[in-house]
A and B are shown apart, each in its own frame.
Chain A
């Protein structure tokens, strides 16, 4: 249906299209910002060394753009209508990855090997859960009462728990951010949301300090964050080196490929989790500020899409994506600057990584989809 509609629109455009045609309402600011961020990402991955990373990342981006267009080509209400299916598929995928079908990378049972690439279902689950929750939320006509509030929590808790036991603490936390934002905009009572935040904080504290559910390296990361000068494994070292790298960049940076911290290996994972560090050391406050600004613009446009969406489902999708991006951006960049503990969360659009890149593009596709359909 969508394809015939698009073909029809293109024809109509030349001959004078209808003013509510989705194709006329594509947000080019979002696309430009996305292109800018992706370009900077490629540049930084290139500066980090291996050209094979660049080639692969270009491939991921091409795939991502393809997925983005695919997502845009179908009216988002189709996704919303099939929320139950999408949710079921997500849970099945997350269960499957915990089975022998999945493989272990970086200590987490969270990957499917596809040829020479790895798929990370947890990344994809972020948008599928956004869509699923939007579908459930759109079906409600009034403010969320306590029962529905719990339904939403349980719907989120299932995939979150499956991801948490991989274990992938960072991704699990993303779901917390997403569900909070979507509950808020979905009409949950402020008191419920506040209680959830408090309970969540208390249970995280108990889990970490009393029940020790975290792996040693996770505890070390937290401790390193609390006391950066202590010598706890390499975490404090990484954190400190990242701060040094960013600070030593100054206003204009040390120049592309002239970052001593990144070039000589003092900063770890500089093509993925610590890519912002590499950026700030080489391009300084100007480079880092420009990227922050671009993220700001992107988020503002997503917020605008949420505000202008035609229906609740559209608003919830955009808010979910906004929460996801915000959490990623704040957690990742905050981590490189010592504001947040170290978790393996990538910076959307910039960090090297297949699943993350594709999911980021897909998420932007969803937002564009909502926005272009705001009149029809």
Chain B
């Protein structure tokens, strides 16, 4: 027999143990882990959501909208909730596709394109009815959500696409975010152009909203911890009319050059004739009186509307052809070109400033220049330097040298700078650097390249760094000859050369070119999680430290000079003329910039930012009359006199009403056809500077000058006409 009492005792002990276990566990959970689990419980309930701010608009010079925002419905899929099994996914893509009238494959592709843990955007600009349907059938679409988002719209289409740039998902930018702001995966960020350059002011400040939710993420309570602050509108200095002229003229010019006969220069310097490719180019129009940019065109271009929902490399290539000509590149600031003969302005200024030549000193131009004491038997030494077409120009002074574009004149100067006792050896470089050609212009746009003015120090350091890429061991006379005519390693951007010409045209004020009217400083980059409803800045004190001082000194405007030509530029803006544009403080209207993004009023009703402009003077360049006037006469003659290299392109232009001066350039590029250039300024006091650079388009006077002419037509109020290739030039330059 067994002992019942004993067995009951075992049962009692077992029961007591079970109860003790439960008690201990309960006490442990509630007393020891209680605080921690309490936090977990509250985390369950709270969802902190970053509310993106409305992005600032981009307006043109007249206050019309270039880039606006529109509220669109976006459908996202949350990976966390979305089915894991592939079959279930495919089935959901099918159903979603039929609701959204989008190809299921398209949805699947976009869903699989990232591996973010966040919701993936699979459709954009979705119909209202589809959003309603998804909301009503939420149970059938696990993880699928519709939300509102802002989308960029471009009322003016692709006009000024390179200037405006585009926005895209913040990706690689997260590593080095603009303005040190905190971005999150999926945020939009300016990728190029003004969108990038002014990202800090355009983006505004995201707000923080906290939601109390239940298990199914239904919102029970909403608390705005910090309202989003809308980005500031940017008013560009771009004049849409001028921009349109620049773009159409450039395209017409390239089309006109296309197929014309051109040269190819190989490394061996042999000439080959080929039809011109003329694939790309750039135009800059700048106001030389204050450095504001009126137009900036680059070809090939693109349509920013293609980038609203992102574009794959494949799609991009299908739409824009090969990437070789890089349509996304803004050649006006990112293209580096040898300036060719347009550089002669700076050689001339240097020669006159250093006293190497005088106003009417002449140099004999027999059509070629032989470097004295040159040993032609030495390998790699070029002793005989020719004019374009070996045309002899006879006795050439500085005026004529610019009008007919005599290379021999400048070869001689290049030789003398480097070899003549008492001459500043790097006088040409010094002047070019003063005009800012050795650096970038500091325009507020991303990806600007700096120019390059080669000198001995650079030659030595380059050779020391990589003797294979840079085989030349030292600076030689021939290098100085190349420099004097803007060849060799001399490189400028279209904006850089335009800005330098502008400084010459306005009498010596080198400005930092500006693409926009004054903008307030960006908001502090960090987002605080502390509710700050009262201490939000509504008006920002604006201090523009780099504001230009009023320009007062400068040579007086000279009268007309020479038969049939009207002199341009000259007059430096007077104090009264400057008053309208020189302001030391900027008034930001209070309250206008604090617009909650949740408000359905999209930016369009917001006031236009004031057209206040503070020019930034980089430096004053001393240009005494004895230097400036001969060169100005030369540039004027190049356009207006019958022997000028650009005269055919400007035939019939009303110079008496709208004087123009400028210089053509035909730059050799190794293994490619010549680049055609024209840089000039016109209008009252040489106010409008235009730089035209056309890749592989032949002679500057034939291809580039007609493009500038058409834009000047517009600026002067003449009929625009169409750009035609100048078939029989009176003179050919280099």
Contact = CB atoms under 8 A, between A and B. Distances in A.
Interface of A: 142-143, 181, 184-185, 187, 241, 243-251, 260-261, 264-266, 280, 284-285, 288-289, 292, 295-296, 299-300, 303, 306-307, 315, 319, 322, 326, 329-330, 333-334, 337, 339
Contacts of B4: 185, 315
Interface stretch (B12-20, B407-415, B418-426, B604-612): B12-20
Interface residues of B, number: 36
Contacts of A306: 8, 11
A299 B41 contact: no
B26 A289 contact: yes
A286 to B, nearest CB: 10
A322 B30 contact: no
B95 to A, nearest CB: 23
B44 interface: yes
Contacts of A339: 21-22, 25
B37 A244 contact: yes
Contact of A246 (B12, B21, B26): B26
Contact of A185 (B11, B40, B41, B216): B11
Contacts of B617: none
Contact of B34 (A185, A250, A307): A250
14 contacts: A187-B2, A244-B41, A244-B44, A247-B30, A247-B34, A247-B38, A250-B38, A261-B41, A261-B44, A264-B214, A266-B41, A280-B29, A284-B30, A292-B22
Given A243-B37, A246-B29, A246-B30, A303 B42 contact: no
Main secondary structure of the interface of A (DSSP, over half): helix
Nearest to B2: A187
A264 B220 CA distance: 9
B29 A264 contact: no
A373 B103 CA distance: 78
A289 B23 contact: yes
A253 to B, nearest CB: 9
Enumerate the 10 nearest inter-chain pairs by beta-carbon distance, A residue then B residue, closest first.
Answer: A247-B37, A265-B215, A264-B214, A248-B41, A248-B38, A247-B29, A285-B30, A250-B34, A244-B40, A247-B33
B1 interface: yes
Contacts of B7: 184-185
A339 B28 CA distance: 12
B215 A181 contact: no
Nearest to A288: B26
B118 interface: no
A252 to B, nearest CB: 10
B30 A250 contact: yes
A249 B214 contact: no
B676 to A, nearest CB: 65
Given A185-B7, A303-B11, A142 B40 contact: no
A169 to B, nearest CB: 20
A246 B30 CA distance: 6
Contacts of B27: 285, 289
B10 A248 contact: no
B383 to A, nearest CB: 80
A260 B44 contact: yes
B43 to A, nearest CB: 9
Contacts of B5: 307
Contacts of B255: none
Interface of B: 1-2, 4-5, 7-8, 10-12, 15, 18-19, 21-23, 25-27, 29-31, 33-34, 36-38, 40-42, 44-45, 213-216, 220
A260 B37 contact: no
A337 B11 contact: no
B215 A288 contact: no
Given A260-B44, A334-B22, 4 more contacts: A184-B7, A288-B26, A299-B15, A339-B25
Contacts of A280: 26, 29-30
Nearest to B23: A292
Contacts of A330: 18, 21-22
A339 to B, nearest CB: 6
A248 B37 contact: yes
Nearest to A261: B41
B25 A251 contact: no
Contacts of A319: 11
A319 B44 CA distance: 43
Contacts of B42: 260
Nearest to A187: B2
B308 to A, nearest CB: 36
Nearest to B80: A231
A202 to B, nearest CB: 21
**Most chain A CB atoms below 10 A, which of B29, B42, B214:** B29
A184 B30 contact: no
Contacts of A248: 34, 37-38, 40-41
Contact of A143 (B1, B22, B33, B44): B1
Contacts of A249: 30, 34
Given A244-B41, A334-B22, A143 B2 contact: yes
Contacts of B1: 142-143, 187
Contacts of B15: 299-300, 303, 322, 326
B91 to A, nearest CB: 19
Contacts of B45: 260, 264
A365 to B, nearest CB: 21
A187 B22 CA distance: 29
Contacts of A337: 22, 25-26, 29
Contacts of A315: 4, 8
Contact of A265 (B2, B26, B38, B216): B216
A303 B12 contact: yes
Nearest to A142: B1
Nearest to B38: A248
A243 B8 CA distance: 34
A260 B19 CA distance: 28
A284 B255 CA distance: 83
Contacts of B37: 243-244, 246-248
B8 A185 contact: yes
B10 to A, nearest CB: 7
A245 B38 CA distance: 8
Nearest to B214: A264
A281 to B, nearest CB: 8
B44 A266 contact: yes
B26 A296 contact: no
A307 B33 CA distance: 39
A172 B377 CA distance: 107
B44 A243 contact: no
A163 B187 CA distance: 56
Nearest to B18: A330
A251 B31 contact: yes
A139 to B, nearest CB: 16
Contacts of A142: 1
**Most chain B CB atoms below 10 A, which of A248, A280, A303:** A248
A154 to B, nearest CB: 22
A329 B214 CA distance: 29
B340 to A, nearest CB: 67
B210 to A, nearest CB: 15
A369 B2 CA distance: 26
Given A261-B44, A337-B25, A295 B11 contact: no
Contacts of A243: 29, 37
B231 to A, nearest CB: 36
Contacts of B12: 303
A284 B29 CA distance: 10
A265 B34 contact: no
A181 B44 contact: no
A9 B26 CA distance: 46
Given A143-B1, A339-B25, A296 B19 contact: yes
A241 B18 contact: no
A329 B21 CA distance: 12
Contacts of A288: 26, 30
A241 B40 CA distance: 9
A264 B215 contact: yes
B31 A285 contact: yes
A284 B36 CA distance: 15
